[in-house]
Structure 1
Amino acid sequence: MIVKGLSRQILLGMASVTVVAGLLVFFGTYLAFAVLFYFSPWPEDTDNWLTGFDFIILTILILIALIVAAIASIRLARRILEPLESLAISARQIKDGDLSARAIPGDHSLGETALLVEDFNAMAQRLQDMAADMTLWNATIAHELRTPLTILKGRLQGMIDGVFEPDEKSLHALVLQVDSLARLVEDLRTVTLADSGHLDLRLQSVRLKDEILRLAAVLDEELQQDGFELKLDLCDVVVRVDAMRIRQALLALVTNARRYAHRGLIEISLGVERDQVILRVTDEGPGLAPDIAASAFEPFRRGGESGSLEKGGNGLGLSVVRAIVEAHGGRVRYAPSDKGGAMFEILLGKAVS
């Protein structure tokens, strides 16, 4: 659309120059003859006199029109080509690795050209942001992998050197570190696939209440051991989702509450509001700090002492929830609960009748 608009703009500009040149010749000829007839006597041999003067005057006026048209065309071409030349130079700089290069819009009255340059600059900014995010991701992933790998290497080397006995307790600790690595890899895979639009979902009509009850039966004993009470408030709805992925998202929210919330009640509720299925996980505090609530679902975002966000985790739990929910076409959001804690809401599609 921009290319067509730019071509139309150039054609209109050149057509305008041509029309102006033609009008200049026409009206200039008329005015010139009017002046000549006013100041000069009318000759007897009108036909010969007009033929000679016609040629001279028309030649002069055409030369003037050509000069005016050439100047106007050069100025118009310069206004159009300057931002395009800047665009080409910036594109070559980006190709060579300089992602900070930006084109100059030039004259904003040339709407399509300025829009093309602005779109290019927006694309360049996005590329620069993606490169910066990738660098941060690589550094953060390396940091997250380093700790369990260092522990594994140290423990295994200690067993080889005879410093540690390969007893059941030591082996269990190593298994925990392997589990930590496996969770990190799976979380990274989920977030990456979701961001690229390739997260595999096996959608089917699911009675969500039954899936939550099965997950709660597994979690209830562990939560009680940690001093939590699990409360369920579930309505019986059928929704088209990937049951395994929804359980994964719900487990991440409950794990987050278990890790950071005050010992007390964790409530899971399921209901339908305005034809939309809503799944909520609520705890009794302390909730998220105001400075991190807005970015709670960003990868590797951790909270401080006052927040219930990923402290001590790998920083991917809530971003995994966001990735799974958005892959379903839904939304996830945070709000303070009535009891001063955190309330995470998963908004899915309409219930299946």
Structure 2
Amino acid sequence: MSRRARLSFQIVVSMGLVSVITMLIAFVIGLIFYGLYYTFWPQFTEPAVPENPYIPDPADYLFLLISVLFGLVVAVIVALRLAKRILVPLNSLAENARRIATGDLTARSVPGDRSLGETALLVDDFNAMAERLEGMTSEMTAWNAAIAHELRTPLTILRGRLQGLRDGVFAPSEALFAGLLDQVEGLSRLVDDLHIVTLNDVGRLELHLEPTRIDVTVQQAVLSVENALRDAGFNIQVVTVPLHLYCDAARIRQTLLALLDNARRYAVPGAVRVELSAHGRGFLLVVEDEGPGLNADFARHVFEPFSREDASRSRRLGGSGLGLSVVRAIARAHGGEARYRASSLGGSAFELEIPATLPGPVV
């Protein structure tokens, strides 16, 4: 029997028991009453022909009255016990709903008697909702604090430099304007990353799916940052196979650039390997470096927004903590997943798995 049918079943059984108990009480009282009646008042029990045999005599009325009173007492007791079992969790729900409405998100209801399946399930659902609401509120608070923290540094720099230009402290120069432009571009990237992660969280990240040569997209993305990687001391290796699939080429390119930028910022100079392979009817894109890799505790949260293993180093290197969150958001928007594992090169390996979005490959 399903949990949602238990309460109805228990009410039916309880009312049925009340009826059966009432009839048993009436039967027992009848045996006792008429036994005493015939024993102590035999003069009133002499056979006689009643004027109307269908009309009860006063003794029968007395018997019916006593039976009904006893039945009512039993019914009231059983009904009160059942009502208490039902009302305890419902009253708890009502009270804690009012507490949540006033802003107390720590309020939780008490299920009471768990033999009532529906009420216990209702309380469990309410508590799960309250916990999720409290968690979302905490996450929103943390997000707001993290966003404010990320925006504070570039805005402070921009304000200080612009005030210095206005007051004549700084002389206008090409290097100064280039630095200001870098700060503005950093703010733009931060806003774009926040936009993507937020849209993915609410299920509204739109993709422009089209026939795509995945291997060409990967090669073009690597080529666009190859010089910067070489200047930073990295030797990039690219292994691809010809793949034609429907996907959002611009988003796939964005994820690969984010992974390469992550390697440039945090990996030790050395080899960076980019490998594209067929995976089922989709593809698997892997970016590996030579180290130092991630510790096991941080690896579980590496794709969470604003996650940093070394916050001071990340800020010094210009990371916002959103790059890998964007990678995961784009992967999930395609119906895929982003994962981390230890690299065979001795460092980190980030995997981007994207399934085929249409029944077959594009030819």
Deviates more, 1:53-62 or 1:68-77: 53-62
Deviation at 1:274, TM superposition (A): 4.0
Gaps of 5+ in 2: none
Task: Tell me what 2:278 maps to.
Answer: 272
Task: Tell me what 2:46 maps to.
Answer: 44
Q: Are residue 153 (structure 1) and residue 152 (structure 2) matched?
A: no
Q: 1:30 aligns with which of 9, 27, 30?
A: 27
Q: Are residue 18 (structure 1) and residue 24 (structure 2) matched?
A: no
Spell out the pairing of 1:310-321 with structure 2 (5 A cutoff). Answer: 312-321=318-327
Q: Does the CA contact (< 8 Å) of 1:184 and 1:314 recur in 2?
A: yes
SS in 2 for 1:190: helix
Count of residues paired in the alignment: 349
Query: 1:142 and 1:29, CA in 2 relative to 1: closer, same or farther beyond 3 A?
Result: closer
Task: Tell me what 1:223 maps to.
Answer: 229
Task: Tell me what 2:190 maps to.
Answer: 184
Show CA shifts across 1:288-317 (max 9, x none). 122200000000001229x99996401101
SS in 2 for 1:108: coil
Deviation at 1:133, TM superposition (A): 0.8
State the alpha-carbon separation in 1 of the partners of residues 350 and 76 from structure 2. 67
Query: 1:247 and 1:57, CA in 2 relative to 1: closer, same or farther beyond 3 A?
Result: same
State the alpha-carbon separation in 2 of the partners of residues 308 and 343 from structure 1. 19
SS in 2 for 1:270: strand
Deviates more, 1:41-50 or 1:58-67: 41-50
2:16 is matched by which residue type in structure 1?
V
Deviation at 1:215, TM superposition (A): 1.0
Deviation at 1:20, TM superposition (A): 2.5
Q: Does the CA contact (< 8 Å) of 1:256 and 1:308 recur in 2?
A: no
Show CA shifts across 1:267-301 (max 9, x none). 11111234442111111111112220000000000
RMSD: 2.5
Q: Does the CA contact (< 8 Å) of 2:33 and 2:63 recur in 1?
A: no
Gaps of 5+ in 1: none
Q: 1:144 aligns with which of 138, 142, 150?
A: 150
Task: Tell me what 2:301 maps to.
Answer: 295
Deviates more, 1:180-189 or 1:266-275: 266-275
State the alpha-carbon separation in 2 of the partners of residues 73 and 309 from structure 1. 67
Show CA shifts across 1:163-201 (max 9, x none). 211111111111111111011010111100110111121
Query: 1:46 and 1:62, CA in 2 relative to 1: closer, same or farther beyond 3 A?
Result: farther
State the alpha-carbon separation in 2 of the partners of residues 269 and 172 from structure 1. 35
Q: 1:259 aligns with which of 242, 260, 265?
A: 265
State the alpha-carbon separation in 2 of the partners of residues 309 and 173 from structure 1. 16
State the alpha-carbon separation in 1 of the partners of residues 84 and 337 from structure 2. 49
Q: Does the CA contact (< 8 Å) of 1:106 and 1:114 recur in 2?
A: yes
Task: Tell me what 2:4 maps to.
Answer: 5
Task: Tell me what 2:352 maps to.
Answer: 346
TM norm structure 2: 0.89
1:45 is matched by which residue type in structure 2?
P
Q: Does the CA contact (< 8 Å) of 1:266 and 1:282 recur in 2?
A: yes
Deviates more, 1:310-319 or 1:189-198: 310-319
Query: 1:149 and 1:276, CA in 2 relative to 1: closer, same or farther beyond 3 A?
Result: same
Deviation at 1:54, TM superposition (A): 2.7
Q: Are residue 61 (structure 1) and residue 64 (structure 2) matched?
A: no
Query: 1:291 and 1:312, CA in 2 relative to 1: closer, same or farther beyond 3 A?
Result: farther
SS in 2 for 1:230: strand
Deviation at 1:214, TM superposition (A): 1.1
